[in-house]
Chain A
Amino acid sequence: MKINQKNSQSKQVKLNQVGVEQASSQLLTVDDLTKVFIKGQGFTKSTIAAVNKVSFSLKLNQPEIFTLAGESGSGKSTVAKLILGFEVPTSGSISYKGDKIAKLKGKKEFMRDVQPVFQNPFETFNPLKKIDSYLYETEKNFKMAETDQDQLVEKSLELVGLSTAEIKDKYPSEMSGGQLQRTSIARALITNPSLLITDEPVSMIDASLRMSVINLFKKLKEEQGVSIIYITHDLATAYYVSDRIAIMLRGQVVEMGSVEKVLGNPLHPYTQLLKASIPVPNPANKWASDIALSDLETKEYSRSGCKFSGRCPKVQAICKECEPENYRIEDRDVKCHLYK
């Protein structure tokens, strides 16, 4: 009996080690992540699984831009909040370089390595505070510069195409949205991170300046080896900039794979609808057919079976009853009964 126990224990230890070795080749692993929000009290109490069993991983030493895309209310921003630790997951785990984030003792190292860039650059910065102070404060908080403070600030500003002279002693109101967002990225780069989490970074920036930020992401990936999680609903820029993409619908990832495959030839009916709904800047290609508009959000969240079954043009009887599993087809994961 005792020997058996010992044996099984040692086996477990071994298994754990294997797990750690596998995990340590990953920069970030998100495993079965679930976040349930509770709405109302007493009789009106209801739950919403904003993030429902989401799994993905980013490889170490292989910088890539990973896009999380989906309509508003699909849970993509909640994933970002969970990774950054603003929310606590209901179940599932997030591991960073093999260590579970929830169990990390010294969070500072993790915070230094994983940096956020937020959506609205006009709200990110305090309007009464000079903008360069954010850069120096980040440097101080993470004890980045031992000798020369200015040098590091100058270097990270240079990466985003700005200079210290341009932002010195300036308030946020004196700069354009594109400049502010680039400063926000420069602040994130001060700590020399290996992962940037960007939540809708260009949705508030003017059309003519948008590409400057998007091109910056490309440059950071190629030259600095920074991996980026790019959260957006703009599929045209997602296609332009990213390597892999995950399409989210009501908390679930319905299709995940390389961006050329997923957006070039979508398999899931929801991705097909998304692609067809991207407005094309060409008057010759106007939307021809009408689409079914979505129901109330809560209705879709609480739907058993496939969450898309209410709007899906290819709906079958089975879709309304049981939830589809992930099927691996043409180098991607698709969550649809059509591909059984």
Chain B
Amino acid sequence: MSILEVKELKAYYSTEKYGHIYRVRAVDGVSFQVHKNEIYGIAGESGCGKSTLLKAVSGLIKPPLEILEGEVAYNFDDKILDILALKEDKQRRQVRGVRISHIPQGSMSVLNPVRRIKKSFEDIVDAHQKIKDRTCFDKMVKTHLEALGLDWSVMHAFPHQLSGGMRQRITIALATILKPDIIFADEPTTALDVIVQRGVVQLIKQIKKEQQNTLIMVTHDLAIHANLCDRLAIMYAGKIVEEADVDIIFNQPKHPYTLMLLKSLPTIGDKSIRASAPGAPPSLIHVPSGCRFHPRCPEATERCRKETPELIQVGEGHRVACFLEEGSK
């Protein structure tokens, strides 16, 4: 059963300059489904629209971001909730934190630098639940922190007194204290070193096991996806180019971009030359015609320059947007 269904979502940033409207096509016709209790990964380079996709899906739409078309439907306890149809921000706020939760990137700028950690916990809990008894609140936070292996003493610290890894763990604890049904994690392990990274992944897995929720993981680090996710989507320039089970993506990738990403990863014990992709990711204002990957693709044909490939099914739960696969079907 799917808990989230996104259909043909288009989210653009619009800016006006000298009377001319520029559109940054950050999310351009994205459709996918997330099943209950799974970890769904979204991978792609910076500027491919993955953070915008998360914003649009969780209803955090503020100008210049606007939704042109598309549908985002959640299924909570067999009730369909269309988050884009909720007109007022107030209604959306009631969903956020309780049903949907967001683990943001860059934990340094997430926590308020002049308030103790405990205050941040009070803020989020008080916004959704009325707990008059403070000892009750303390107990609730304490059991949550203990389950995550965090010490109660951090509650009285200021953010600058904690290391980056500790701050990230607190951000995760904050996002999950109200036991949300679906968690969006936006690059939670980026800028952390390998050991802390492993600790954070461990923590996320543990939370998922305890609270039985669904997780959408966004990061550019394919190795993290390999460790954590069940299914994986690869994004390039605002579109999903390939989607499949993690094993299939890593063992039988079909799209040239996925192949290229996987080839560039170095591993310990192998010193053979790794090539990097030619060129650079395209600007989302002036997107290339046809297939957006064609200027960097080694197998681009005349057709790729003119027509846009559709995301087509090539196997069990395996979708690819490439003309090369059309023939083999």
Q: Which residues of A does B touch, CB under 8 Å?
A: 70-73, 176-179, 203, 206-212, 214-215, 233-237, 239-240, 263-264, 273-275, 277-287, 290-291, 293-294, 296-297
Contact = CB atoms under 8 A, between A and B. Distances in A.
Given A263-B268, A278-B268, A283-B226, A291 B196 contact: no
Interface size class of B (residues with CB under 8 A): 35 or more
B271 interface: yes
Contact of A176 (B163, B197, B268, B280): B280
B45 A286 contact: no
B199 A293 contact: yes
Nearest to A216: B276
A113 B32 CA distance: 54
Contact of B276 (A70, A211, A274): A211
A7 B300 CA distance: 80
Nearest to B198: A277
Contacts of A274: 194-195
B290 interface: no
Contacts of A239: 266, 268-269, 271
Contact of B45 (A206, A235, A264, A291): A206
Nearest to A295: B151
A237 B266 CA distance: 6
A277 B220 contact: no
**Which of A212, A240, A291, A297 has most B Cβ within 10 Å?**
A240
B267 A212 contact: no
Interface in B255-272: 260-262, 264-269, 271
Contact of A294 (B195, B223, B267): B195
B281 interface: yes
Interface in B134-179: 149, 162-166, 169
A128 B317 CA distance: 48
Contacts of B61: none
A72 B202 contact: no
27 contacts: A71-B195, A71-B196, A72-B192, A176-B280, A207-B261, A208-B45, A208-B276, A208-B277, A209-B280, A211-B276, A214-B266, A236-B268, A264-B269, A273-B195, A279-B198, A279-B224, A280-B267, A281-B267, A283-B226, A283-B246, A284-B247, A293-B149, A293-B165, A293-B169, A294-B163, A294-B196, A294-B199
A211 B274 contact: yes
B163 A72 contact: yes
B194 A207 contact: no
B191 interface: yes
Contact of A210 (B162, B169, B191, B264): B264
B245 to A, nearest CB: 9
A310 B235 CA distance: 41
A239 B195 CA distance: 17
Nearest to A279: B223
B46 interface: yes
A211 B192 contact: no
Nearest to A284: B247
B80 interface: no
A280 B267 CA distance: 7
B15 to A, nearest CB: 14
Nearest to B196: A71
Given A176-B281, A281-B226, A291 B195 contact: yes
Contacts of A279: 194, 197-198, 201, 221, 223-224, 226-227
A281 B195 contact: no
A85 to B, nearest CB: 26
Given A71-B195, A277-B197, A296-B163, A208 B226 contact: no
A287 B202 contact: yes
Interface in B57-113: none
Given A208-B277, A297-B163, A287 B194 contact: no
B250 interface: yes
Which A-B residue pairs are the 4 nearest by beta carbons?
A: A279-B223, A211-B276, A212-B276, A233-B193
Given A207-B221, A211-B275, A236-B267, A282 B149 contact: no
Contact of B271 (A240, A281, A282): A240
A207 B45 CA distance: 6
B6 interface: no
B198 A280 contact: no
Contacts of A263: 268
Contacts of A208: 45, 260-261, 264, 276-277, 281
**Which of A203, A212, A281, A290 has most B Cβ within 10 Å?**
A281
Given A72-B165, A207-B222, A209-B280, A287 B201 contact: yes
A281 B265 contact: yes
A210 B165 CA distance: 24
Nearest to B46: A206
Contacts of B277: 208-209
A265 to B, nearest CB: 10
Nearest to A276: B198
A233 B194 contact: yes
Interface in B263-306: 264-269, 271, 273-277, 280-281
Contacts of B247: 283-284
Contacts of A211: 264, 266, 274-276
Contacts of A207: 45, 220-222, 261, 264-265
Given A279-B221, A279-B223, A72 B162 contact: no
B227 A296 contact: no
Nearest to A281: B223
Contacts of A273: 195
**Which of A208, A233, A240, A264 has most B Cβ within 10 Å?**
A208
Given A240-B271, A278-B268, A296-B163, A210 B196 contact: no
A233 B189 CA distance: 13
A290 B202 CA distance: 7
B224 A275 contact: no
A115 B276 CA distance: 25
A72 B246 contact: no
Interface string B14-48: 00000000000000000000000000000001110
B241 to A, nearest CB: 13
